A = this chain, B = another copy of it.
């Protein structure tokens, strides 16, 4: 396990303790899987990895853990891929924007907050009150672009 993964897990543990959330074994394991793989994984891929690790592997096992992680900011869903990534900036209040490489599937999480723009700004013109914004770009990551 990378050291960064261990650190993130510890932070999640601490956050849960402070907020009366139960960081159960299956939730911890799913977060470890997401952080270790460091790419977008579908629920059923996660399920396979859970089985390998000795957990039960019916779909609700993965979806429940993922719901928990997403709801509490430890992971994000990538809507375009119907898959999930571990959060790179847990704990902090943030507006993520995801960059999804079409060649290598790597997903990087950037901060979308920008004083010049915001989805809210577009929205307010339309009289719309934003509660959650999804920003996902598809394209080529630096390393794949330079190979092409």
Contacts and interface: CB of A to CB of B under 8 A. Distances in A.
A116 interface: yes
A135 interface: yes
Contact of A133 (B110, B116, B121, B137): B137
A119 interface: yes
Interface in A88-102: 97, 99, 101-102
A122 B121 CA distance: 16
Interface in A116-134: 116-123, 125-134
Chain A: interface residue count, which band?
35 or more
B138 A131 contact: yes
B97 A134 contact: no
A134 B131 contact: no
Interface of A: 79-80, 97, 99, 101-102, 108, 110-112, 114, 116-123, 125-142, 145
25 contacts: A79-B134, A80-B134, A99-B128, A108-B126, A110-B122, A110-B123, A110-B125, A117-B117, A117-B118, A122-B137, A127-B141, A127-B142, A128-B137, A128-B140, A128-B145, A130-B138, A131-B137, A131-B138, A131-B139, A131-B140, A133-B135, A134-B134, A134-B135, A134-B136, A135-B135
